[in-house]
């Protein structure tokens, strides 16, 4: 396979996985606060959260695979899993490895939720709040994979994801009230 194709696939799968994980965060916050998504029962929202989570993990796996096989950079399979061991940009690749390790913990415990119990699952699931910003920093700093930070439409897409997560998260953290839905935000803008 052509090296340019692998490089573009790595960039694309990284952007898609970060976008999907942003959507997962918004859905997870909304489901937890029992926010109604218009036209969707709560159980459907939970199923959507799980489905998008698994899809994001698939894109993340493709992103990691392409980063490891890409000849443009030298990222070993070990460096993809063990933080800060990469010969190429050890700090920023290391943050990606930290995010991967955290998402693996969240994913595995979610798949084993019935066997672990709610308390254990929930304690580990809180790692998502650490994983997502680490992944965002990794994505923004690794950017185009050419040593330059993210720019252009991928940066704006990432900023949109950050804004969506903050809009959902701020009320939960500051007041304990339900998270805002997109409809709440639009209603506020129209007033």
One digit per residue, pLDDT tens: the chain, 191 residues?
Answer: 678 899 899 999 999 999 999 999 999 888 876 666 777 787 888 889 999 999 999 999 999 999 999 988 889 999 999 999 999 899 999 999 999 999 999 999 999 988 988 888 888 998 999 999 999 999 999 876 666 677 888 889 999 999 999 998 877 677 655 555 555 555 544 43
Name the nearest CA neighbour of 27 among 47, 12, 9: 47
Q: Please state the φ and ψ torsions of residue 170, each to the nearest 5 degrees.
A: -55, -50
Q: Is 191 helix (H, G, I), strand (E, B) or coil?
A: coil
Whether the CB-CB separation of 125 and 49 falls below 8 Å is answered with no
Within 10 A of 57 (CB to CB), how many other CB atoms are there?
19
Report the C-alpha gap between 191 and 179 in whole angstroms: 19
Whether the CB-CB separation of 168 and 161 falls below 8 Å is answered with no
Report the C-alpha gap between 135 and 98 in whole angstroms: 8
Whether the CB-CB separation of 95 and 141 falls below 8 Å is answered with yes
Name the nearest CA neighbour of 31 among 48, 54, 18: 48
Answer whether 0.75 is exceeded by the pTM. Answer: yes
Name the nearest CA neighbour of 97 among 72, 60, 125: 60
């Amino acid at each position: 396979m052509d090296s340019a194709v692998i490089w573009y696939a790595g960039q694309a799968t990284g952007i898609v996985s970060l976008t999907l994980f942003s959507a997962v965060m918004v859905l997870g916050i909304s489901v937890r606060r029992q926010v109604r998504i218009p036209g969707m029962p709560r159980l459907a929202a939970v199923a959507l959260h799980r489905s998008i989570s698994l899809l994001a993990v698939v894109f993340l796996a493709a992103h990691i695979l392409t980063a490891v096989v890409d000849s443009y950079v030298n990222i070993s399979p070990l460096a993809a899993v063990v933080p800060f061991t990469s010969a190429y940009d050890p700090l920023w690749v290391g943050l990606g490895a930290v995010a991967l390790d955290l998402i693996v913990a969240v994913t595995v415990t979610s798949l084993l939720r019935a066997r672990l119990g709610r308390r254990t699952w929930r304690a580990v699931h809180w790692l998502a709040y650490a994983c997502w910003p680490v992944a965002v920093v990794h994505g923004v700093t690794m950017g185009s994979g050419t040593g330059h930070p993210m720019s252009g439409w991928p940066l704006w897409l990432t900023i949109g994801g950050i804004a969506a997560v903050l809009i959902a998260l701020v009320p939960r953290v500051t007041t304990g009230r339900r998270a805002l839905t997109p409809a709440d935000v639009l209603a506020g803008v129209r007033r």
